[in-house]
């Protein structure tokens, strides 16, 4: 039992002393040297900086890639820009021509049928908005006429209250009403003046007749 135990211990010591076998060195991956002939990042960055735009806006001539790749300074890139090998692309247009054409057609009433409408009539154009617009138009006209002395403050108040009472559906009707009222007033004023003049003439005639009558009576005495 003792001899077998000693044999095991000797084997363990031998294994501890002998160093482990080294693994075979791993083969290094061989990379091909990077060719800057086709990598034009530098030129694109420099051109974008010179032209003050983004890199996506820079166009490099694919047929002159070798010559462009040789440019490694701003001076050379500027020369290529001058020669037209590097170009700053134009901003893409967002044309409104079709939109304008469609809106013009809509003003004529096209594309506005039942199938194109979303929302109720009140939601599309509220009656309150129409009322506010109409009142503002009418009141603006009344203010203008009052400032121009075309109507006095009494007429202004009269038409203001009637406009609020929905008496005039638009500006034309209000102007016609103003002209009609002014014509009636001038006519009434003229009639009153005629009546006053007639009364004055009658009073003068009466006074003259009374004076003549007094003269006749004085002569008779």
Average pLDDT over residues 14-25: 58
How remote is the C-alpha of 51 from its chain's centroid? 31
Angle (CA) 61-62-64 rounded to 5° is 70
Of the candidates 141, 217, 205, the residue with the CA atom closest to the CA atom of residue 179 = 141
pLDDT at position 23: 58
Whether residue 34 has pLDDT greater than 70: no
Q: Give how far Cα 37 sits from Cα of 40, 47, 66, 77, 87, Å.
A: 8, 17, 6, 15, 19
pLDDT class of 32 with cuts at 50, 70, 90: very low
Residue 92 region, left (φ>0) first, then alpha (ψ -120 to 50), else beta? beta
Place of tokens 């061989």: 30
List residues bridging with 86 in a β-sheet.
Answer: 60
Question: pLDDT grade, residue 5 (50/70/90)?
Answer: low
Q: Across all residues in the chain, what is the average pLDDT?
A: 88
Beta-sheet strands, E only, within the chain: 58-60, 86-88
Q: pTM, whole model, 2 decimals?
A: 0.54
Give the helix/strand (H/E) hosting 145. helix 127-147
Over residues 170-199, mean pLDDT:
95
The span from the CA of 16 to the CA of 34, in Å, is 48
Q: Kindly tell me the sign of the dihedral angle through the C-alpha atoms of 28, 32, 36, 41.
A: negative
């Amino acid at each position: 039992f003792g001899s077998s135990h000693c044999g095991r211990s000797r084997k363990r010591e031998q294994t501890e002393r002998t160093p482990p076998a080294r693994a075979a060195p791993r083969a290094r991956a061989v990379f091909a040297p990077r060719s800057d002939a086709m990598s034009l990042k530098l030129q694109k960055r420099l051109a974008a900086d010179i032209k003050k735009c983004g890199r996506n806006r820079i166009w490099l001539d694919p047929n002159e890639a070798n010559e462009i790749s040789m440019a490694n300074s701003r001076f050379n890139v500027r020369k290529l820009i001058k020669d037209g090998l590097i170009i700053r692309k134009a901003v893409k247009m967002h044309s409104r021509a079709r939109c304008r054409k469609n809106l013009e057609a809509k003003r004529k009433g096209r594309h506005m049928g039942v199938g194109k409408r979303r929302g109720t009539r009140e939601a599309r154009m509220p009656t309150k908005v129409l009322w506010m617009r109409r009142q503002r138009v009418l009141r603006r006209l009344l203010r203008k006429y009052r400032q121009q002395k075309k109507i006095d403050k009494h007429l202004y108040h009269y038409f203001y209250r009637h406009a609020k009472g929905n008496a005039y559906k638009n500006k034309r009707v209000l102007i016609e009403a103003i002209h009609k009222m002014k014509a009636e007033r001038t006519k009434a004023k003229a009639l009153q003046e005629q009546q006053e003049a007639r009364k004055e003439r009658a009073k003068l005639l009466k006074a003259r007749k009374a004076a003549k009558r007094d003269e006749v009576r004085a002569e008779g005495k």
